[in-house]
Structure 1
Amino acid sequence: MSHVFPRHTRLNPPVAVGGEGCYLIDASGKRYLDASGGAAVSCLGHNDPEITDAVKAQLDKIAFAHTGFFTSEPAEQLADLLIANAPGDLDRVYYVSGGSEATEAAIKLARQYWVEKGEPQRARLISRKQSYHGNTIGALSAGGNEWRRAQFGPLLLDVTHIDPCYEYRLRHDGESLEDYGQRAAQALEDELLRVGPDTVMAFMAEPVVGATAGTLVPAPGYFKRIREICDKYDILLILDEVMCGMGRTGTLFACEQDGIAPDIACIAKGLGAGYQPIGAMLCSSHIYKTIEEGTGFFQHGHTYNGHPTAAAAGLAVVSAILDRGLLQRVQTQGDKLADRLADRFGQHPHIGDLRGRGLFYGIEIVADRDTKEAFDPAKGVSGKIKKAAFEQGLICYPMSGTIDGKHGDHVMLAPPFIIEDAQLDELTDKLATAIDAAI
């Protein structure tokens, strides 16, 4: 009898005992191709000796030192490396232990920034429907997935949610991608004018939406227009790259491909690649200087901020991504994955859309390809796909509620950057079998 509180009390998951590259191994010896990297975490695969050696070496020096008293060498080195490769004016790194903590810190920093600038009326956050920013109360408030929010509604902050950039469902017939991108972005300016720009502290968005909507890729020009609107009304832009960042889409920061930079960025998952729990919030020099020249104290913090062992893992992971040419590999293998998915599912009667960037892909499942009608949620299609895939030894990330938190199903893929061509074939074959079995 287990005393672990599991994610679902009616499931009895196998025990993971080993990992080898793109595979996880359970106690019976069964191997599973990790085609989603867990939750887009294991970007370097499992049991990478260079990363594990870096963690072991740090443990031999100093495992933990509280940042109320010390900094550490790996924390300083990782911050230098991140900022050297960060877009725009990002200049400071605030360490946390995961994605929810990163977005929570971003929201609180945005608020304190305006308080210290003498504009305390700026307390409103704008985000997007079908976004996901984490599971703390603040992060859940920012997120726009109604199913995840529903039972906690009385506890959540007052956050406005505008429509996402969801070309497959929201672009009009005859409307160009570029025109749709401009129209989708205009929703932000419309909302600012509705609530009053001087009441808004920030707009938060995922450059490529992850788990809740199945890797929604922005339309061309969408984020450039978003950046223009934020600048016009002096609104901070927070980009949540917890899932889509750290090379997942083919550039270290996902927003690089949209030609913009945020005022605050949130990263995690691929930052530690699963070897240690670590996340970070990065902010611009202007924001940092405002705090520095004001109270000098960011009124926030966690015990494990800047944990030296976690930072050592992060340093090794980011160094590996950059030094091993993995960003180019993500682009190359991502193109191959896209081709395989198009060949296998491009004309499938129950596949409505294939979308993604790099090694970050989503497959939207529909009951009717022509009308885009979703399956009845009661059928539990995504759950059945997950179960069928897992039985074959394939780990993927199916989710329901793609459209509005209740309706729609998708499968998200985020395999390790080291995935080989034969493993892409294995992924596609097993996923096709699982989808057909479930439907």
Structure 2
Amino acid sequence: MTHALLRNLTATTPRMVRGEGIYLFDAEGRRYIDGSSGSSLVCNIGHGVKEIAAVMSSQAAELACNPFHCSHTQAYEEMAARLIGLAPPGFEKVFGVSSGSEAVENSIKFGRQFQVACGRPSKHLTISRWQSYHGNTLGALACSGYTSRRRKHTPLLRDAVHIPPAFCYRCYFEKAYPACELKCARALESAILQEGPENVAAFIAEPVVGAALGGVPAPPSYFEKVREICDRYEVLFIADEVMCGLGRTGANFAIDHWSVAPDLIATGKGMGSGYFPMGASLVSEKIVAAMQAQGAFFEGVHTCCGHLLGSRVAGTVLDYLSHHRLVENTREQGELLLQGLNRIKSRRPSVGDVRGLGLMAGVEFVRDQEARAPFPVDLKVAERVMDACMERGLIVFPGHGTVDGTAGDHLLLGPPLVITSSEIEEMLMILDDGIAAVEREIAGG
């Protein structure tokens, strides 16, 4: 028996003891490809990087933490400068925190404080999308549109406004791009007008939807339309890049694929790459200027803001990404991954769709490819495929609610950005075998 509370209170899971590159090793000596980069899409630079361990040891021996309320560190300044160097034009400051959920919460608070500083105190609502996930703290969860994760906590959540996702495979409006004229983006304007522009502070969206949909990028021009609508109604645009940022999609930030600059970026996960829990809000010049004009403190401080050891780790991770050209590698290996997933789709009738950008990809399961009909929820297809893959030495991340928040199964795939072409092929072979095994189980009743 263990006194450690695990996510699944009844399942028996392997005890991991070591990692190297894309591989994990358990206490029984079994090796696994970490196809989800931790839980999930965290370990961007891979496991067992000695440079990170050395930096952590030397920094902890010198000074690990400082009183953030009255001091700061060079490591924090350097980490912030690196992030601003990667960001779209117009960004000026970075506020470091301990997780992606905190980064989202703080980005929402920055948006609110900006609107108050601009003399618009009634602007308080944040609009988001269904089938999105922005974090597990109450404010971030209220914005999230991931039904299964919200359901038990609904009475605790503040009222939130959601619009349909930008999900072409299952278009809410039953249209096809580009004839749809981006109705999913125009839904934002409708929501703003319905709530009253004087009440809406911000819109938050994942450029590539992660856990809730499994690697779904928005269609071309979607975020251009979003930017236009936000500007029209003095609404801030927050890009949630906690999962899809920092090289994961083959760009510094995923929003770069649309050549649009948001007002705030929330990031995390890969920022510390699993070596230290880190997140950050990147804040644009106009927000900083408005707050400075009011002489305001930012009211959103957490215990480990600007953490010295975390900042040193994050700065070293960002250097590693650059020195090893991992963004470029992600573009190359991401193409191979999507090509391989499409090959699997062509021979596996349970695979309805594959999608993604870079090394952030998804597989959606259906019982009928032509009708795009999902499997019954009680079959738990995504979990069964995860189990089958894990038995064969591959860890993937399952998801559900793909169709309507309840029905639908998908996998999210996101190996470390250090993966090679031969390792991609190994991963695809195991995935194909795992899917085939579950198809046989279901067919056999």
Bin for the TM-score computed over the shorter chain: over 0.9
The CA deviation at 1:69 is 2.3
The CA deviation at 1:250 is 0.4
Q: Distance in 2 between matches of 1:181 and 1:3?
A: 54
Q: Distance in 2 between matches of 1:236 and 1:299?
A: 18
RMSD of aligned Cα (Å): 1.3
Q: Would the aligned equivalents of 1:167 and 1:180 in 2 still touch at CA under 8 Å?
A: no
What residue identity is the alignment partner of 2:48? Answer: N
Q: Would the aligned equivalents of 2:133 and 2:212 in 1 still touch at CA under 8 Å?
A: yes
Q: Distance in 2 between matches of 1:180 and 1:328?
A: 33
Q: Would the aligned equivalents of 2:210 and 2:216 in 1 still touch at CA under 8 Å?
A: yes
The CA deviation at 1:194 is 1.2
Between 1:230-239 and 1:3-12, the stretch displaced more is: 3-12
Partner of 2:213: 213
Q: Would the aligned equivalents of 1:181 and 1:222 in 2 still touch at CA under 8 Å?
A: no
**1:282 aligns to what SS in structure 2?**
strand
Q: Distance in 2 between matches of 1:294 and 1:181?
A: 41
The CA deviation at 1:296 is 2.0
Partner of 2:99: 98
Partner of 2:32: 32
What are the residue-to-residue correspondences of 1:234-383 with 2, within 5 Å?
Answer: 234-383=234-383
Partner of 1:48: 49
Between 1:131-140 and 1:142-151, the stretch displaced more is: 142-151
Partner of 1:391: 391
Partner of 1:139: 140
The CA deviation at 1:176 is 5.0
Partner of 1:9: 9
What are the residue-to-residue correspondences of 1:176-215 with 2, within 5 Å?
Answer: 177-180=177-180, 182-215=182-215
Deviations 1:48-68 (A, max 9, x none): 112222222211221111211
TM-score, scaled to structure 1: 0.97
Q: Distance in 2 between matches of 1:141 and 1:312?
A: 32
Q: Would the aligned equivalents of 2:238 and 2:264 in 1 still touch at CA under 8 Å?
A: yes
TM-score, scaled to structure 2: 0.96
The CA deviation at 1:172 is 6.7
Between 1:37-46 and 1:336-345, the stretch displaced more is: 336-345
What residue identity is the alignment partner of 1:121? Answer: S
Q: Would the aligned equivalents of 1:83 and 1:90 in 2 still touch at CA under 8 Å?
A: yes
Partner of 2:443: none
% identical aligned pairs: 39
What residue identity is the alignment partner of 2:109? Answer: K
Aligned residues: 438
What residue identity is the alignment partner of 1:68? Answer: H
Deviations 1:272-318 (A, max 9, x none): 11011100001111111222221421111111111111111100111
The CA deviation at 1:390 is 1.1
The CA deviation at 1:438 is 2.1
What residue identity is the alignment partner of 2:152? Answer: Q
What residue identity is the alignment partner of 1:322? Answer: S
Partner of 1:70: 71
Between 1:243-252 and 1:79-88, the stretch displaced more is: 79-88
* Large movers: runs of 4+ above 4 Å: none
Partner of 2:442: none
What residue identity is the alignment partner of 1:44? Answer: I
Q: Distance in 2 between matches of 1:25 and 1:205?
A: 35
Q: Would the aligned equivalents of 2:359 and 2:414 in 1 still touch at CA under 8 Å?
A: yes
The CA deviation at 1:422 is 1.9
Deviations 1:241-277 (A, max 9, x none): 0000010000111101111011010000111110111
Q: Would the aligned equivalents of 1:397 and 1:411 in 2 still touch at CA under 8 Å?
A: yes
Q: Would the aligned equivalents of 1:130 and 1:213 in 2 still touch at CA under 8 Å?
A: yes
Q: Distance in 1 between matches of 2:71 and 2:8?
A: 39
